[in-house]
Amino acid sequence: MLELYKRLDQPTREETIRLGRLGVKIDGLGRPVNPHFVQDFGHKGLVQGKGMFYYWGPNHTVDPVVIGQENNTPKVLTIVRGDNGLLALPGGFIDLGELPLSAAIREAHEETGLDISQDPHETIYNGQVNDPRDTLHAWAETTAILFRHDGCPPVIAGDDARPGSAVWLPLAELVEASLHGAHAMIIAKAMQRYHELAQPTTR
């Protein structure tokens, strides 16, 4: 039974080959090693396996940062996660074959009811992020997209957001809040870019 468990708790040969081609470090059992933990490889205190993730290696997520203005104050669209009770952006996993932009629009609508499909947008971050679900062999890589929305219309929490938690919050309140994963870093990048875009251009 132990040997069967060991075989099940490691990638297939095809998965190992695919991850190797992506340049991911592979251990002696064919498992990918989290780049953030390479120096601690073999450390017994680290959670091994896929943990709560779907895939070995990188698990691709999307984080839409939707910013609107109310009374001349920029506000960020947020929800409270149903799994850990932390304030968060209305993001999630990218479905197989789905583009990050499509996933961002879908997640925002599922979790807040807001349509951001026509909003001006740009990618502000793409890469690995610290996530509380990270293990030695599976981790999150996100695409964060800034959306500039017209105003701050009413929103309704849905999907896996805590009921009644969707709300627009000013930066001052977000600075004091406990945010999920790397969302504080992502929001800071988004706000910086938002203010850059708001500056008048000089010729």
Per-residue pLDDT 10s for the chain (203 aa) are 334 334 457 899 999 999 999 899 999 899 999 998 876 555 556 789 999 999 999 999 999 999 999 999 999 999 999 989 999 999 999 999 999 999 999 999 999 999 999 999 999 999 999 999 999 999 999 999 999 999 999 999 998 899 999 999 999 899 889 999 999 999 999 999 999 998 876 55
In a domain, 38, yes or no: no
Instruction: Give the integer Cα–Cα distance in Å for 173 and 129.
Output: 23
In a domain, 88, yes or no: yes
Closest CA to 58 of 27, 29, 19: 19
In a domain, 37, yes or no: no
Please report, for the domain that includes residue 162, its CATH number: 3.90.79.10
Tally of structural domains, the chain:
1
Q: Which domain holds residue 136?
A: 57-198
Instruction: Give the integer Cα–Cα distance in Å for 60 and 49.
Output: 17
